[in-house]
Chains A and B, each alone.
Chain A
């Protein structure tokens, strides 16, 4: 269940647009936060009811964006861009490397619940490709060594690598 605070936030969002439906993406963000980083069907249903939209429409919108997760995700989300610039500079190898290193396929979460590996559309940082985004932080001009370093920093709790 969404908290009353979240429900109020969504209601306010709706008021900011001439048509309710324009507030949908922002509302889904609110719901995703409330539900621990993903959107279970109940969350989609609640948003639909709150906004007076068909539930299927809400689910469809959520499915379009890689920023919305329709399965539970780990503590950290590793999002690997595989669009054109990153691909040309080895994003596919990087993705395969991460998959091997973490022992999971794309879309899966490590058994300890720490990492979810995701393939995403363009992160808008072609000049520093290949790029991955972990949680809300960009990591640029990556190599396998850099990735090792970054993941070490995160797992050892030393915070984000510079």
Chain B
């Protein structure tokens, strides 16, 4: 489309529009409605349904408005042309001859374009008296979607969406003529993680959700605008509730986040919200058993026990864990409680974003990156919408995707190259790339580093050939990647949580900065996997940071916040999660409060340590493994039942809103923390804890965090608020970062790599029944060399053994993993693979043994 505008006359109205746009688009901008079925604003037009026929002066016959480009001074008649009106009416009648009139039992009824247009433009009655044609009426395309081939009007929207956006060509037209139908490859269900979107864009009730099917008529639903809590993207969604139960989730357009799409996990996994397993009353341990109690009893007991610990052991004997899954308001209040009421900085959360990471600046901006480098990051499973934006860059603009990951991920399908590495080899890999970029690049690469001459000496050791034994990445792949990087105009490095585990945060980011400083206009963004990872950090649920990442060690900030909160804040450095574990084990921690996290499930070490805490309070949705160890368990409201904000992976603040009441006595986190605080502070200071709503908590957050000044729930609105990108000071010098030698342990010769799957058996998804049918049985992927070494074949049952224990798996032998490592998906096996991991979490080494 060019910048030129042309003038067209539509139904006598003069319309200015960009040259090259279609008649349909021109009419839409002028507010003139043209009915359509196959046309969709997000898809390439095909002109298949003939519903948008219009008359164009000087053109023979009627034209499809969706495919006809405008010309200057074109005269179009939509509603003023009797021929076009008649043709559109006939088309509706024609579509309806074979379309079953089962609207009373069709899920689309009430929001169906065919129904609406039949009312608006149709003839009102049918002349067709013969029997309608019959095709498959209840035809499951997958675990999630069912197709009614009789209702289908063959508009191709579903096929085109999967082609143009998801790049999953899994649907197509089969047969011919009157017998044409939508189908999949024989015997192969849809596997795309984007299939749910085809339900939304189906203009009739042909594609319907197997989870929502017959749950409600759409007009019975109360719709609430909210945000998906299942990954860091924070897709905008609508919760449809009937009779206090979430019946369906549909996407809500936000061009800065998810366009109009959501992944199937976000759409179909809401079963946990209304699951009978939800905690409904507070529980108190009496005679060794957790028994139901009232909120009064539970909160009074916690207040009394915490006060006693405060008296006997002092504030440092207590700690709390917030969560990167719960709201900002809950996290903010938790750290406020710990710092202000108890007087300790012992507050942290698990999976904290590594120091040195910066948020991605923009999701739609991904489309305009010509090279995207994924470092220990698998968007397809960790943040699916990021994958969709990357695919847009690849499919529409030919972007390259380089993948540094121990095993091949879905996005390797675009040719990579795949830079397989052994965990711990991250620095070696990056140094190898720096060296290769300097080798293949011209002078301009070298000229970007001010200290290039001194640096050449230490970089000598990192030729691709020398790097290969250090990290397992083939030298040829490194060179190939360097060629791509040197030519990149605007490369983007996406860093995942796995990237910093092996080499440490500082070194991993320093080595990466060395590489980016040599390239054109490079940006680095961290892809947080959890819904509120940035939020938890921003809210100060970290021992060394007050809200807004203001350092606790700065006396000026401490004084300012002391006077704001009306108490003297402790200067004693707090314990982080890694520090809390030994403190638990040594009996130094007497009381602990854990909100929205399940450390006992993540590792055996954590479970053992938490058992030694005399007074453990767990606040969650379900009876988690950690909750079974607690003295008091508090039932909390889910994302569908509370108001609050989440901060997504671009730092965007977005609101979740209550769509239904929480089950039983469950209460929002902010209410629980506030109530407990009011029981513990003296009466004259209770005023500082009189939060009446999540909104009033957010008001205070906006005052405490410098960048949030002036924000309120009203200003966040439906679309959320995007902070200005942080100014990262570009380095001009290469910093010397040396790679570690590869670790070796003859007893445990293999490196364990864990990763998320899109569908797993975690706390929430375990309660989404249909989704569970898509989770594979526990497996371990090993390299053919490893298989030979251990005498193991594809499909063998094996034990995976670490110093912590052993777990059974089925072996998949594949060369899509780097030799010397094994891959196990997280949250699939029971007991969880965390059983093999020791905390503090670094790398875990394992060996294999055949099961007898």
Write the residues of chain A forming the contact surface with B, with a CB cutoff of 8 angstroms.
41, 44-45, 54-57, 59-60, 63-64, 70, 121
Contact = CB atoms under 8 A, between A and B. Distances in A.
Given A41-B186, A70-B186, A59 B172 contact: yes
Contacts of A60: 172-174, 183
B134 to A, nearest CB: 16
Contact of B185 (A56, A64, A121): A56
Given A41-B185, A41-B186, A57 B172 contact: yes
Nearest to A63: B174
B58 interface: no
Contact of A44 (B171, B176, B184, B185): B185
Contacts of B186: 41, 44, 59, 70
A51 B173 CA distance: 20
A64 B176 contact: yes
Nearest to A60: B172
A148 to B, nearest CB: 31
B176 A56 contact: no
Sort chain B's interface into a size bin.
10 to 19
Contacts of B172: 56-57, 59-60
A56 B175 contact: no
Nearest to B169: A54
14 contacts: A41-B186, A44-B186, A56-B184, A56-B185, A57-B169, A57-B172, A59-B185, A59-B186, A60-B174, A63-B174, A63-B175, A64-B174, A64-B175, A64-B176
A75 to B, nearest CB: 24
B187 A56 contact: no
Contact of B187 (A41, A57, A64): A41
A56 B173 contact: no
A143 to B, nearest CB: 28
Contacts of A54: 169-170
Contacts of B185: 41, 44-45, 55-56, 59
A55 B185 CA distance: 7
A44 B184 CA distance: 13
Nearest to A59: B185
The 9 closest A-B pairs by CB, nearest first: A54-B169, A60-B172, A63-B174, A56-B185, A41-B186, A56-B172, A59-B185, A55-B185, A64-B176
Do most interface residues of chain B lie in helix, strand or loop, or is the interface mixed?
loop
A59 B174 contact: yes
A110 to B, nearest CB: 24
A45 B187 CA distance: 12
Contacts of B171: 56
Interface string B175-189: 110000001111110
Nearest to B182: A60
Contacts of A44: 185-186
Nearest to B163: A54
A92 B174 CA distance: 25
A63 B184 CA distance: 12
A57 B185 CA distance: 8
Contacts of B184: 56
A52 to B, nearest CB: 12
A57 B169 CA distance: 7
Question: What secondary structure prevails in chain A residues at the interface with B?
Answer: helix
A61 to B, nearest CB: 9
Q: Looking at B175, B185, B188, which has the most chain A CB atoms within 10 Å of its CB? A: B185
The winner among A63, A64, A121 for most chain B CB atoms within 10 A is A63
Tell which of B175, B183, B186 has the most Cβ of chain A within 10 Å: B186
A54 B172 CA distance: 10
B183 to A, nearest CB: 8
Nearest to B187: A41
A55 B168 CA distance: 11
Contacts of A41: 185-188
Contacts of B183: 60
A97 B397 CA distance: 59
A108 B170 CA distance: 29
Interface in B273-288: none
Contacts of B173: 60
A50 to B, nearest CB: 16
Nearest to A66: B176
A148 B225 CA distance: 71
Given A41-B188, A57-B172, A121-B176, 16 more contacts: A41-B185, A41-B186, A54-B169, A55-B188, A56-B169, A56-B170, A56-B171, A56-B185, A56-B188, A59-B185, A60-B172, A60-B174, A63-B174, A64-B174, A64-B175, A64-B176
A59 B171 CA distance: 10
Interface in B781-799: none
Contacts of B188: 41, 55-56
A54 B171 CA distance: 10
A133 to B, nearest CB: 18
Contacts of A45: 185
Contacts of A55: 185, 188
Contacts of B175: 63-64
Nearest to B175: A63
A71 to B, nearest CB: 10
A155 to B, nearest CB: 31
A54 B163 CA distance: 10
Contacts of A57: 169, 172
Interface string B709-744: 000000000000000000000000000000000000
Nearest to A62: B174
A55 B172 CA distance: 10
A79 to B, nearest CB: 15
A25 to B, nearest CB: 14
Contacts of A64: 174-176
Contacts of B169: 54, 56-57
A41 B172 CA distance: 15
Interface in B655-705: none
Contacts of B174: 59-60, 63-64
A64 B186 CA distance: 14
Contacts of B170: 54, 56
A39 B173 CA distance: 17
A64 B171 CA distance: 15
Contacts of A70: 186
Contacts of A63: 174-176
B84 to A, nearest CB: 31
Nearest to A65: B176
A7 B171 CA distance: 26
Interface string B559-571: 0000000000000
